[in-house]
Amino acid sequence: MNGMNSFNAPTYSRLSSRLATLALAFVLASTTGCTYLKELIGLGVQKPRVTFLAASITKLSLRGIDLVIDINVENPNSFDLNFAKIDYQLVASGMPVARGELASKVQIPAEGQHVVHVPLTINGEYAVKLMRDLMSKPSQPPIAFLTANAAFDTPLGPMLVTFEDQRPLHKLTGR
């Protein structure tokens, strides 16, 4: 009876381990949804694409310039993302002319997009310096640098997306 009714214990152990892993993956997929399974197999949450669209002047006075910056957020995921806040800084002519934070709960639809409107104020002193730079060198307008960090709440936890935009100051408002 040598070898007729015996089985290979290591092979059985590997097989049962694989079956247990598959069973665990099935249970996780059915109880926590596709998002967790995607993360488990390395697909995970894709970062949204954040792009600067334009800025528009809402108020011009001796105290400063109020702008609204429009930022488009594209969600490539198959689930909604919640936009939580954005920290931003605008540098022009080498001066940090505006900085701030907008905390706004906006839902970005699955595989969709949404425009977020960010208010921004340039104080009067910086506004005068920028106008002087624009008028003194019309062929070499100052460059505006917008840097921002957008925070999103996802099913797998918070996500931070950093983006930058640079353009001549006179084209900041699309002109």
CATH number for the domain including 84? 2.60.40.10
Question: What is the C-alpha to C-alpha distance for residues 47 and 149, in angstroms, rounded to an integer?
Answer: 13
Domains held by the chain: number: 2
1, part of any domain = no
Domain span holding position 82 = 49-171
- Tell me the one-letter amino acid at 30: S
Q: Is the same domain home to 81 and 161? A: yes
Q: Is the same domain home to 24 and 108? A: no
Q: Is the same domain home to 15 and 90? A: no
What's the pTM? 0.68
2, part of any domain = no
Predicted local confidence at residue 131, as pLDDT: 85
Predicted local confidence at residue 31, as pLDDT: 47
Q: Is the same domain home to 55 and 127? A: yes
Question: What is the C-alpha to C-alpha distance for residues 25 and 47, in angstroms, rounded to an integer?
Answer: 25
pLDDT of 59 higher than 60: yes
pLDDT of 4 higher than 60: no
88, part of any domain = yes
3, part of any domain = no
Q: Is the same domain home to 120 and 159? A: yes
Q: Is the same domain home to 153 and 73? A: yes
Cα 39 to Cα 11, 18, 34, 36, distances in angstroms: 30, 20, 9, 5
Question: What is the C-alpha to C-alpha distance for residues 165 and 145, in angstroms, rounded to an integer?
Answer: 6
pLDDT of 169 higher than 50: yes
Tokens of 155: 């099913």
Q: Is the same domain home to 23 and 107? A: no
pLDDT of 79 higher than 80: yes
95, part of any domain = yes
Residues 6+ apart with CB under 8 A from 146: 52, 69, 88, 89, 90, 164, 165, 166
* pLDDT (tens digit per residue) in 106-128: 899 999 999 999 999 999 999 88
- Tell me the one-letter amino acid at 65: I
156, part of any domain = yes
142, part of any domain = yes
pLDDT of 153 higher than 50: yes
Q: Is the same domain home to 95 and 146? A: yes
